[in-house]
Structure 1
Amino acid sequence: MAIGWEKEMVDLLGDDRLLLDTESRERLSKDYYWYSPVLNGKLQGKIADGIVLATDEREVALTLSFAYRHRIPVTVRGSGTGNYGQAVPLEQGLVLDLSGLDRILEIGDGYARVQCGVKLGLLDKKARELGQELRIYPSTYAKATVGGFVSGGSGGIGSITWGNLWDGNVLEAAVYTMEEIPRRRIVRGAELFDYIHNYGTTGIMTEVTIPLAPHTEWLQTVVHFDDFEACVQFGEALGHAEHVKKRLISPMEWPIPAYFKPIGKALESGAAAALLETDEASGDAVAELAGQFGGRIGHRIPAAQYRKTIGLSDFTWNHTTLWALKSDPTVTYLQSGFAPDRYLEQIRQIKGRFGDEVLLHFEWIRNGGKLTPSSLPIIKYTTEERLYEIIRYFESIGVKIFDPHTWVLDNGGRGEVGSMQRRKRENDPLGLLNPGKIIYEP
């Protein structure tokens, strides 16, 4: 990139909006890609030439217009809690940090309209004070921003009832295009699919409207099982139990629960465990259903303690990988979808082939309204070749893989690639938005 643009940008935005020091550029050019040893090896040293700290949409538009005129790539970031190198500037240029757009604009009946930098945990707290709550959120709840989740996530806690982001969990977004005069587009309905989980490659999201659910008092429960298959089957039965409100159903095989040191004393050594969030009145129903599968209640956190202490959701979804990495830095993970009608057979095939080289935990979710066993298996990592051998075996037995070891959207298995490419050509004619993350010909 040509030298000499820095002073012009400082004159445009102010010297407190552009960071050029090495420490800031290194720190804000990363996300949690180190979850993947493959990405960790390939993304080291990718650093932006400058970091823009935007605090309002005017500064976003000025930055995009400036970068377009100077042909400077722009990579957007929120809190940087993603796992796939979304916030890494592969071709240097500018990182546009939107965490300063952090105003809650409106909380209405059944919805919240917020700037993209609002943290999900804060929004949920405010919504619960008003008798509502988030429908879904990732395990990085405390740090992740609304815009970051929509732009780089998929599902999470609450997906057992409300599905993933594509299942009506984004109502509207304001998106800026990458042109000499950026357009502010209001996007709704099916058009949102071109911006969800697209890492800011098709437009810069500055404002998001999401639906809210009625406030529920959540009871947290650990149910222990001697048999992992029974644990997963219990999860399916609970998923179908319409009389029990649910936010989380996460069955885990042993020794995964051994990684959860903060709650280790409450967990039964050697037992599979289902980590649950269900409504406060569901205790007896959960215990009765668990008993039908040989399960026993092992630990409960009453609803009065919800969010006042470490919660069970802090050990689920991809936080399971985080706790595993703290105990064993040689592990990594996959993202997979098992077949609802033969997941037990697939579990047996995987365990028979790989044993403890692959450890399984599930999150039962609704995907397009259908109850589905989603999984983020923990993998004992040795080589990239062995990792992809495991991936190929999963796929050969009908387990769908969403590859978390690539930064390329087309290879990660999300969305309609053709539609994303068309939208990118329309909104980003020079291909300057987060280049390298989507296979694209200008």
Structure 2
Amino acid sequence: MPMEWTKEMQQLVGEERLLLENEQVEKLSKDYYWYSPVLEPLLRDKRADGVVVPETEEQAARALALAYRSGIPVTTRGAGTGNYGQAVPLEGGIVLDLSKLDRVIEIGGDYARVQAGVRLGALEKRLREQGKELRIYPSTFMKATVGGFVCGGSGGIGSITWGNLWDGNVLEAVVLTMEEVPRRLAVKGEELAAYIHNYGTTGVLTELVIPISEKTEWTQTVAQFDDFASASRFAHAVAVDDSIRKRLVAPVEWPIPSFFKPIAKRLESGSSACLLETAEGTESALAAHAAAAGGRVGYTIPSDQYRKIIGLSDFTWNHTTLWALKADPSLTYLQAGFHPTDFPEQIARIKAEFGDEVLMHLEFMRSGGVVVPAALPIVRFTTQERLYEIIAFFRANGVSINDPHTWMLEAGGRGELDAMLRAKRANDPKGLLNPGKLQVPVQSTVEER
């Protein structure tokens, strides 16, 4: 692409906030798409022409206005911890790195108002110092930004109590449109559906209000079982036991625990495990549930060590996949949703069909108030065709799949697509925001006119 725009961009945002050096641009054009052996060869050579790193919302708006006038695609970026190529520019142009919009604006009794680039780990630390804490966050929270999580994530640690992002875990967003004069929208209520998990395709989020909760002293526990069926039965019993306050309930099948090198020596060899964060004082209740399922409590991290040593959440959600990849690069993963109560039968059919080709990893969470076993099973990758045979088997047995091996929002099955399409047409008339990630049907556009 012709680069005549660079001098004007430097004048608008400052020379030091426009990055053009090859190594910097290459690094900031990537995310964790390499989790997928399908995406890796397709995205490895994609890169921006330049990176703009605004330090104020006004600078971000100026950059968007110039990009609009010049017809330059813009891909927003937080910390680049997404797994589907959300932050990879498919058509070059500008990566708009919002990590310097990192001001905590206000902490109220039950909410925090922050700029999009605030890191979740830093926010959690600050909140806990004030007797508060985050409700939900991803396993990458030490690096991940609030805006990146809202635009590229869905659920995480805390979701067993508070649900996913759509369950009231975003209260308000400030959005810049991609127009000649970008509008500043304050979005609340049902309108938020167009901006949660949108990959930056429908507008640029610069500020967010998220709910927070009172601080809890968390004990971390590993329960061990001779088989995964027992581990998942225990996990479900704990997940639906409202007398136990919890932040994490994550059963994993052996040999997945052997991949967790920093704590592997503390875990039973050959045993499936359930990783938990529960409120201090719930240890006896966990032990009773474990005994009822034929298991036992093993490694425990007391509450006074929370955040002082490596925690169990560092081995859950998609960090489980990361540890598996470190142990064996031929492994990959899926994102699945099992039936709230029939999941044992669904898992049994999958294991009977695939054996160790598919290793089970569940994350119990609430979705719309219902406890459900979300899953990020580990899959041994051989060919793309075989991977999609496995996906087809899951779906044929009533297990939903949000495909993590595509960058397209529609094919991945994530987000509120109708709301996104309406916002895309209104806020991005030239289709310059992260093009290729959300397809706007031509017929629908004609009909609306």
- TM-score for the superposition, normalised by structure 1: 0.99
Amino acid at match of 2:343: Y
Match of 1:164 in 2: 164
Q: Residues of 2 paired with 1:345 and 1:143: CA distance?
A: 37
Residue 420 of structure 1 and its aligned partner are, at CA, apart by: 1.1
Match of 2:97 in 1: 97
Q: Residues of 1 paired with 2:189 and 2:242: CA distance?
A: 28
Alignment of 1:125-136 (within 5 A): 125-136=125-136
Q: Residues of 2 paired with 1:116 and 1:122: CA distance?
A: 13
Amino acid at match of 1:180: E
For 1:119-174, what per-residue CA distance to the aligned partner results, in whole angstroms no more than 9, with x for missing partners?
A: 00000111111111000000001000000000000000000000000000000010
Match of 2:238 in 1: 238
Of stretches 280-289 and 163-172 in structure 1, the one that deviates more from structure 2 is 280-289
Q: Residues of 2 paired with 1:148 and 1:54: CA distance?
A: 16
**SS state of the match for residue 308, structure 2?**
coil
Match of 1:379 in 2: 379
For 1:74-107, what per-residue CA distance to the aligned partner results, in whole angstroms no more than 9, with x for missing partners?
A: 0000000000001011010000000000011111
Residue 19 of structure 1 and its aligned partner are, at CA, apart by: 0.8
Match of 1:432 in 2: 432
Q: Residues of 2 paired with 1:197 and 1:247: CA distance?
A: 22
Q: Residues of 2 paired with 1:133 and 1:142: CA distance?
A: 14
Contact 2:229 2:344 in 1 (8 A): yes
Residue 39 of structure 1 and its aligned partner are, at CA, apart by: 0.5
Of stretches 147-156 and 6-15 in structure 1, the one that deviates more from structure 2 is 6-15
Match of 1:419 in 2: 419
Match of 1:43 in 2: 43
Q: Residues of 2 paired with 1:191 and 1:295: CA distance?
A: 46
**SS state of the match for residue 346, structure 2?**
helix
Q: Residues of 2 paired with 1:367 and 1:164: CA distance?
A: 6
Long gaps (5+) in structure 2: none
Q: Residues of 1 paired with 2:191 and 2:3: CA distance?
A: 38
Match of 2:24 in 1: 24
Alignment of 1:142-291 (within 5 A): 142-291=142-291
Q: Residues of 1 paired with 2:18 and 2:344: CA distance?
A: 53
Long gaps (5+) in structure 1: none
Q: Residues of 2 paired with 1:199 and 1:417: CA distance?
A: 12
- Residue-pair matches, total: 442
The RMSD of aligned alpha carbons is: 0.8
Amino acid at match of 2:71: R
Asked if 1:293 corresponds to 2:293, the answer is yes
Q: Residues of 2 paired with 1:12 and 1:253: CA distance?
A: 53
Residue 415 of structure 1 and its aligned partner are, at CA, apart by: 2.3
- TM-score for the superposition, normalised by structure 2: 0.98
Match of 1:363 in 2: 363
Amino acid at match of 1:2: P
Q: Residues of 2 paired with 1:170 and 1:99: CA distance?
A: 19
Contact 2:194 2:417 in 1 (8 A): no
Q: Residues of 2 paired with 1:417 and 1:213: CA distance?
A: 30
Match of 2:80 in 1: 80
Of stretches 224-233 and 1-10 in structure 1, the one that deviates more from structure 2 is 1-10
Residue 340 of structure 1 and its aligned partner are, at CA, apart by: 1.3
Q: Percent of counterpart pairs with the same letter?
A: 63
Q: Residues of 1 paired with 2:4 and 2:205: CA distance?
A: 29
Residue 2 of structure 1 and its aligned partner are, at CA, apart by: 2.7
Residue 38 of structure 1 and its aligned partner are, at CA, apart by: 0.5
Residue 342 of structure 1 and its aligned partner are, at CA, apart by: 1.1
Q: Residues of 1 paired with 2:240 and 2:2: CA distance?
A: 59
Amino acid at match of 2:223: V
Q: Residues of 1 paired with 2:295 and 2:8: CA distance?
A: 66
For 1:313-367, what per-residue CA distance to the aligned partner results, in whole angstroms no more than 9, with x for missing partners?
A: 1000000000000110010000000011211111111101000000001011001
**SS state of the match for residue 415, structure 2?**
coil
Match of 1:311 in 2: 311
Amino acid at match of 1:264: A
**SS state of the match for residue 151, structure 2?**
helix
Q: Residues of 1 paired with 2:68 and 2:199: CA distance?
A: 19
Residue 241 of structure 1 and its aligned partner are, at CA, apart by: 1.0
Residue 32 of structure 1 and its aligned partner are, at CA, apart by: 0.3
Residue 14 of structure 1 and its aligned partner are, at CA, apart by: 1.5
Amino acid at match of 2:85: G
**SS state of the match for residue 67, structure 1?**
helix
- Which 4+ runs in 1 deviate beyond 3 A? none
Q: Residues of 2 paired with 1:416 and 1:366: CA distance?
A: 18
Q: Residues of 2 paired with 1:309 and 1:292: CA distance?
A: 30
**SS state of the match for residue 281, structure 1?**
coil
Q: Residues of 1 paired with 2:24 and 2:180: CA distance?
A: 27
For 1:12-63, what per-residue CA distance to the aligned partner results, in whole angstroms no more than 9, with x for missing partners?
A: 2221011111111110000000000100010111110110011110101000
Residue 216 of structure 1 and its aligned partner are, at CA, apart by: 0.1
Match of 1:345 in 2: 345
**SS state of the match for residue 257, structure 1?**
helix
Q: Residues of 2 paired with 1:16 and 1:177: CA distance?
A: 24
Q: Residues of 2 paired with 1:128 and 1:288: CA distance?
A: 30
Amino acid at match of 1:359: L
Residue 206 of structure 1 and its aligned partner are, at CA, apart by: 0.2
For 1:270-313, what per-residue CA distance to the aligned partner results, in whole angstroms no more than 9, with x for missing partners?
A: 11101000000101111111111111011100000000000001
